[in-house]
Amino acid sequence: MAIRRGRGVAAINYPTGMNLGGDPTQALVHSTPTGNFMVTLSSVDLGQGLKQIMAQICAETIGVPTDRVTIDTADTDTGPHCMGTFASRGTHRAGNAVIQAAKEARQVMLEVAAEELEVNASDLETDGQGNILVKGAPQKSISIFDVALSAHFKRGRSISGRGMFLIPRSYPEKETGAMKPSTCYAHACTVVEVEVDDETGEVTVLTVKNVFEIGRALNPKMVEQQLVGGSWMGISHALYETTEPYYPNRDHGGTDFNQYLMPGPGDLAQTEIIVLERPSADGPYGAKGPGEMCANPQIPAVANAVFDAVGVRIDTLPITPERILRALKAQAAN
């Protein structure tokens, strides 16, 4: 009986969004009378940071500072349509819709500015600081604040835009069954080192080394935050979490946080994150969906590491001491 060390590797391709009956998200953008921009969405921020990312995307597209943008996700009854923030689709789908809406709003904004400055709208550019300038003659300029006031109180124009991003439904080809379930994939590879006690079946994760390819990181610190948390969650799925440990038998399922196991701050493996940015062709500013992807490769990597350590294949999650000991017993019997 001994503590045995193992190393496992796993790599994944993970689709951004889903494709059942088509996958749409709608966004509406309008300016307030003072030149701030409101983005109306039904896409919900549940902690992943969607509001921040949508504000960045809208600001970048219109050409204003991010703090001039407000994201309203208040009410799915009255807001525009979104399939929801799941399947790692929020940034990609809602972001594309926001770009489309913001482009339309920007065009109206430039048209109003052109009337005020008595120039052609195509000769105008934004400085990213809240002003519209004549290209090549930046001394001729107008603030977006004044443009919005003019649009509302003088010109009767609505600085607003509509966005709808749709990934259409993909049907399988009759002959081959081939289809295109997703247009955009994120990728990851994880190497895990574990120690397995072959007497108790207990697994200790020593190191988790992850490489994530996530398109362009629109907010690198928030990406890192999500990947670190996701890596931890992957280890948690691999070794700890389940609502039905003897599925389909419902007995012994955790009914509270004392019984539902997750690794706490004292159970952390040394974790490394490397981000590769390869901008996606159809993502907003090259982004992909890293959300769910980042919690997946750790699971097969842990299973492979356990196999490397003690020579048993556990194909049911989580990989509990009980399952390892039963597998070791079966192995010894053969």
Partner 1 sequence: MAKVPVQFTLNGSEKAEFVEGGTTLLHALRDKIGDTSPKGGCHQGTCGACSVIIDGELRLSCLTLAETCGGADIRTTSGLAEAGVLHPLQRAFLDAFATQCGFCTPGMIMAAKVLLDHTPNPSREDVVEALSGNICRCTGYEPIIQAVLTAARANSQNAA
> What whole-number distance in Å separates Cα of residue 9 and Cα of residue 7?
7
- Both structure tokens of 333: 């019997």
Which is nearer to partner 1, 32 or 52 (by Cβ)?
Answer: 52
Residue 1 in the binding site for partner 1 (CB under 8 A): no
Residue 274 in the binding site for partner 1 (CB under 8 A): no
State the minimum distance, in angstroms, from the CB of residue 256 to partner 1.
6
Q: Which of 206, 262, 276, 328 binds partner 1 (CB under 8 A)?
A: 262
Residue with tokens 């994530």: 212
Give the interface size with partner 1 as a residue count (CB under 8 A): 24
- CB 163 within 8 Å of CB 267: no
C-beta atoms surrounding 199 within 10 Å: 12
Residue 67 in the binding site for partner 1 (CB under 8 A): no
Which among 54-62, 193-201, 264-272, 317-325 is the span making contact with partner 1, rule CB under 8 A?
264-272
Which is nearer to partner 1, 24 or 229 (by Cβ)?
Answer: 229
Which is nearer to partner 1, 19 or 43 (by Cβ)?
Answer: 43
For every residue of 268-329, DSSP letters joined together read PPEEEEEEE----SSSGGGB---TTGGGSTHHHHHHHHHHHHHS----SSS--HHHHHHHHH
Residues 168-227 that bind partner 1 (CB under 8 A): 221-222, 224-226
| CA dihedral (326, 331, 332, 334) positive or negative | positive
Residue 266 in the binding site for partner 1 (CB under 8 A): yes
Q: Which of 233, 301, 309, 312 binds partner 1 (CB under 8 A)?
A: 233
- CB 89 within 8 Å of CB 14: no
Positions that interact with partner 1 (CB under 8 A): 46-49, 221-222, 224-226, 228-233, 256-258, 262, 264-266, 268, 271
